[in-house]
Chains A and B, each alone.
Chain A
Amino acid sequence: MENKLVIIAYAIYLPVALGLTYYVARTLFKNAKVFMLDIFKGKQDIAYATNRLFEIGFYLLNLGFALMILKIRVNQYNPFETTQKLIETLSYKVGGFSIYLGVMLFLNLLLFMRGRKKARQSQLPKQQFVPPIAK
């Protein structure tokens, strides 16, 4: 009986986790193209290639983590017998995973912001720098 409940929990958790990952990745990388174009100064081919590479990395990292935390331990201290227990465990797992996804999302965004700032800084001196002697 408890085995059946655990398998039901897996069957609910996995689609939710995969769907969340897909949704977050799609939103993030649809909007990251603007950053990439800024970072690579409008060179479209390399900007889109980098975007795709980061997307693959994001998927790998998050799907790997989602699978890693799948396991529900069942023993005499944690008898997995009631529907209540199922809902509690699922909420803990899904909530934890979505917090992790949020942190990852902001980390990626931070990375893009930093890259954009650096790219802008390296552009600025050529355009605006006026040597003090020439004034």
Chain B
Amino acid sequence: MTYNLLSYIIYAPIAIYITVVVGYQCYKNGLVYVLSIFQDENLSLAINRILLTGYYLTNIGYAVLIIESWEEVQSVLQLLNVLSFKLAGIILLLAALHYINILVLSLWRKTAHIK
């Protein structure tokens, strides 16, 4: 087994695990926001679930997509370097998306209250 294969085997479960855990937490805690925007429980639940699905699709898709442009790994040291760098990229991307999401939700909530 080459180091590349080994790094994919370590990388994919961690990336997917992080995405799923973060998504589930946002799904659970975001429901209050969606409820306060739409004030209709069934609609809110549906929208929340659709948002979660869309989130999983885009993020897991992206995480798997960047495996394609992986550099050639030749030693254990390089494996650790590449692995940490790629995971850091995924995590920081999630962080950026997450903060944008909070911003949009809070802005949206404000305008919904003014109406």
A64 engages B76 (CB within 8 Å)? no
Pick the contact of B85: A6, A49, A57, A68 (CB < 8 A).
A68
Q: Mark B63-93, 1 if CB is under 8 A from A, else 0.
A: 0000000000001110011001101111110
List residues of chain A with CB within 8 A of the CB of B75: 3
A56 interface residue (CB < 8 Å to B)? yes
Q: Which residues of A contact B77 (CB under 8 A)?
A: 3, 6-7, 74
* Bound-complex Cα distance A46 to B105 (A): 12
Assess whether A71 is in contact with B26, with CB atoms less than 8 Å apart. Answer: no
Q: B102 near A57 (CB under 8 angstroms)?
A: yes
Q: Distance in Å from the Cβ of B43 to the closest Cβ of chain A?
A: 18
Secondary structure at chain A's binding surface: helix, strand, loop or mixed?
helix
Q: Decide yes or no whether A106 CB sits under 8 A from chain B.
A: no
Partner of A10, one of B30, B80, B90: B80
Q: Is there a chain B Cβ closer than 8 Å to A63's Cβ? A: yes
Chain B interface secondary structure, helix, strand, loop or mixed?
helix
Determine the chain A residues whose CB is within 8 A of the CB of B92 once the complex forms: 60-61, 64-65, 68
Q: Decide: A71 and B32 in contact? CB cutoff 8 A.
A: no
**Please, how many angstroms separate the alpha-carbon atoms of A116 and B76 in the complex?**
49
Report the nearest B residue to A56, measured CB to CB: B25
Contact partner of A64 (CB less than 8 A), chosen from B36, B81, B88, is B88
Within 8 Å CB of A110, what residues of B? none
Asked if residues A68 and B88 are in contact (CB atoms below 8 Å), the reply is: yes
Provide the A43-86 mask, 1 if CB < 8 A to any CB of B, else 0: 00110111011101100110111111011001000000000000
Task: Point out residues on A near B: beta carbons under 8 Å.
Answer: 3, 6-7, 10, 45-46, 48-50, 52-54, 56-57, 60-61, 63-68, 70-71, 74
